[in-house]
Amino acid sequence: MNYEVSIGLEVHVELLTKSKLFCGCSTRFGASPNSQTCPVCLGLPGVLPVINKKAVEYTLSTALALNCKASNFSRFARKNYYYPDLPKNYQISQYEEPLARQGYLEFELEGKLRKVEIERVHLEEDAGKLIHGEATENIEEKDMSFVDYNRTGIPLMEIVTFPVISSPEEAYQYLVNLKKIPKYLKVSDCNMEEGSLRCDANISLAPKGEKRGTKAELKNMNSFKEIREGLTSEIKRQSHLLDKGKRIIQETRLWDNKKKKTYPMRSKEWAHDYRYFPEPDLLPLEIEEKWIEELKAKLPELPQTRCQRFIREYSLPPYDAGVLTDSKELADYFEECLKSFPQPKQVSNWIMGEFLRLLKEENITVEEVKVSPTQLGKLLKYLKKGTISGKLAKVIFEEMFKTGRKAKEIIKLQGLKQITNEKSLRKVIDEVLEQTPQAVSDFKKGKGKALGYLVGEVMKKTKGKANPGLVNKLLKEKLSIL
């Protein structure tokens, strides 16, 4: 039977503040275990947390970018549970009074605009990191776990959708588009490998038109791809049960990426009885309209809007616009490049082609690229003028990319200027024709391929510097009088 699927996503994003949410410890990733902790984040008795204003601002800005309504009144709450990654035995989170509510994210799904409603955006502290003995090499450690509290207290923003997502693919696209927002705002690097973006899902099935079924919660998915796979496998499992007239149990299930299926979490320690109550150590927040207006004014142009503008303003295909606006840095690079070479489609081809290829190859970010957008623009000017061939332009760009040298310098230094001098080209052509009588006679017999071969030979002899169009023309002239 076909069921209607309801998926809700809960995304946790670590914020890029310098210090933790309630204390001055560093948030730097990769420090040695427990070297970034203090009495506050270790939960020692008698300490008082104080809210990091930047973390609140980052959360509010993201919420505004997600079209949420910021709360006038907001408060932190204690969420109580016992787990070794939580030294206080409670997590300072938000419950009834999150920083913002009721927003949405719009994105394209299979050519149509989709709108996923967001229930709330709140701020909380992250928990510590557990390393299980099984993961270490030492066999005697298999019954132990180890705790590193460096992550404890790092500001964590939680973005929760209503259960309105109706397919694993839609969930995937939501995540891809959501991830761009904190990155555009530079409030998080959203790096899943380093755990600065994590996602849990809940999913339920119901026969069409009927009210939502019992949901299962899914955890332990470590990439957007795994989330899509996890949801797909869960739809299969639940519809199989429903087909047989069985009931779905409300439970938390974990994704097993090796077996590609979900399994129920054993421990009942996560009984959802967190006994939330207002955090007595932190005073409430009253968020004034003026503050919100200031934050709104500071928001950059957001990916979806920018993508639409690129299509409209530069007549770019939607695919190009999507790739270019994927990150703010790339979109900025593109627009900066246009200032020195105002040919959008050509610049776009170069950025999507050579630029992104080299970026991936060198494994660096746009910000680390040594070629300035102006320099790329200049290179494209040389190409347009015919000073260099397209093939050579790629070689030169690679050199620029690797060394940071200017296009002009490389062309001059390596004598890479295109040969457009007919006289010297004719000389090369004569040489080639003399050395390849077979090809010449093939051409005479009407084998068109032979011409291509001859052009290739001329290019080889000139180390790619000859203008191919000119070579073609001159070759044909010469061959016709032979």
Residues contacting 105, CB < 8 A, separation 6+? 66, 67, 115, 116, 118, 174, 177, 178, 181
Classify 160 in phi/psi space as left (phi over 0), alpha (psi -120 to 50) or beta: beta
- Whole-angstrom distance, CA of residue 84 vs CA of residue 212: 35
Q: Under DSSP, is residue 253 helix (H, G, I), strand (E, B) or coil?
A: strand
Integer CA distances (angstroms), 227 to 200, 218, 243, 245, 249, in order = 8, 9, 24, 27, 20
130 near other proteins (CB under 8 A): yes
Rounded to a whole number of angstroms, the minimum distance from the CB of residue 17 to other proteins is 5
- Whole-angstrom distance, CA of residue 53 vs CA of residue 50: 9
Report whether 451 contacts 443 (CB < 8 A): yes
Pick from 141, 169, 189, 226: which binds other proteins (CB under 8 A)?
Answer: 141
Rounded to a whole number of angstroms, the minimum distance from the CB of residue 37 to other proteins is 5
49 vs 373, which CB is nearer to other proteins? 49
The token pair at 456 is 């290739």
Query: Cβ of 133: how many Cβ atoms within 10 Å?
Result: 14
Residues 23-62 that bind other proteins (CB under 8 A): 23-26, 32-39, 42, 50-56
Residues 83-122 that bind other proteins (CB under 8 A): 83-84
266 near other proteins (CB under 8 A): yes
The token pair at 474 is 């001159």
34 vs 435, which CB is nearer to other proteins? 34
129 vs 426, which CB is nearer to other proteins? 129
Q: DSSP character for 475?
A: H
413 near other proteins (CB under 8 A): no
CA quadruple 394, 396, 398, 401: dihedral positive or negative? Answer: negative
Pick from 283, 301, 317, 361: which binds other proteins (CB under 8 A)?
Answer: 283
The token pair at 64 is 């505004």
**Segment contacting other proteins (CB under 8 A): 82-90, 104-112, 166-174, 229-237?**
82-90
278 near other proteins (CB under 8 A): yes
134 near other proteins (CB under 8 A): yes
80 near other proteins (CB under 8 A): yes
133 near other proteins (CB under 8 A): yes
State which amino acid sits at residue 265. M
148 near other proteins (CB under 8 A): yes
Rounded to a whole number of angstroms, the minimum distance from the CB of residue 384 to other proteins is 47
**Segment contacting other proteins (CB under 8 A): 242-250, 259-267, 331-339, 465-473?**
259-267
242 near other proteins (CB under 8 A): no
Q: CA nearest 277: which of 104, 56, 454, 78?
A: 78
Which residue in this structure is represented by tokens 């940071």? 404
113 vs 139, which CB is nearer to other proteins? 139
- Whole-angstrom distance, CA of residue 321 vs CA of residue 315: 9
- Whole-angstrom distance, CA of residue 124 vs CA of residue 14: 10
149 near other proteins (CB under 8 A): yes
How many residues bind other proteins (CB under 8 A)? The answer is 55
Query: Cβ of 394: how many Cβ atoms within 10 Å?
Result: 18
154 vs 302, which CB is nearer to other proteins? 154
145 vs 214, which CB is nearer to other proteins? 145
Max intra-chain CA distance, the chain: 99
300 near other proteins (CB under 8 A): no
278 vs 342, which CB is nearer to other proteins? 278
Residues listed for the chain: 482
192 near other proteins (CB under 8 A): no
Interface residue list for other proteins (CB under 8 A): 17-19, 23-26, 32-39, 42, 50-56, 75, 80, 82-84, 130-134, 141-149, 254, 265-267, 273, 275, 278, 280, 282-286
